[in-house]
Amino acid sequence: MTATSPVSFGARVQAAMADRGQFCVGIDPHGALLRDWGLTDDAAGLETFAMTVVEAVAPHCSVVKPQSAFYERHGSRGVAVLERVIAESRAAGAQVLLDVKRGDIGSTSQAYADAYLDPASPLAADAITASPFLGFGSLDPMVDTARRHGAGVFVLALTSNKEGPEVQHATTDDGASVAGLVLDRLRGLNAGADPLGSFGAVVGATIADPAEDLAIHGPLLAPGYGEQGGGPADIARIFGGSARHVLASSSRAVLRLGPDRAAMTDAVRRANDELAEALA
């Protein structure tokens, strides 16, 4: 690494997990949650909700994960709130994983990379989620842009939604599964990285049996933790020796405690303690 090269996302996220724990909070402003908080389901309510959550959790967790769709549905004012969430979460010391699940080809893939991974963009985050199901090579512009700017990409591999297996468990002529091919490509991208690669996999915290090698020398995002059924024992069971690289992600288990900031902060601390104890 030269003196002017950015610190890699892999190095930053590993340091953040060591310092702040492995719990990741999804900042997902569902309309029902806004109403439960006594807020209007509009851009003004969105802003109050999102910034209250940022204040409560971003100083205490390693990674926050705003889901872009819940901001986009409020139009340009909602996207402006997302820009604030990204900027203020990073200012509070959290890494920001923007959940956009983008996947396209050529110049469109590059445009997504420029929007979310280039520091010149107001929407630039530390990492994004991406879909490889147009072929893993379709993600090359995102991978190249992430490398250039010290960012990361988390690629869908083994998701816990019931529709996922029809694609992810499909096999090629030589018997390899689609998920296995995705994980192999990520393993290749992370080869030789020190201390950890910047290209992660999304693997659900509620899947029954991964049946794949999850040791990709990169971070692993495990959505479905908490109220969706995944717990510390599932993280240990699914990820085995790679569990130390897992970000266990939950949103509603924390967000439903708002607008009480202290309660949300305490929930983050408890989750980090539970994970640390289980994965020690």
Q: Residue 93 has which token pair?
A: 């010391």
3-state percent breakdown (helix, strand, coil) of the chain, nearest 5: 50, 15, 35
Cβ distance 75 to 46 under 8 Å?
Answer: no
Q: How far apart are CA 165 and CA 68, in angstroms?
A: 24
Q: Of 90, 101, 244, 269, which residue is the catalytic one?
A: 101
Q: How far apart are CA 79 and CA 181, in angstroms?
A: 34
Contacting residues for 87 by C-beta, under 8 A, at least 6 apart: none
Tell me, yes or no, if 65 is annotated catalytic: no
Q: Residue 190 has which token pair?
A: 């992370």
Residue among 274, 175, 262 nearest 225 (CA): 274
Strands 199-203 and 220-223: parallel
Amino acid found at 33: L
Q: How far apart are CA 139 and CA 76, in angstroms?
A: 27
Residues involved in catalysis: 101
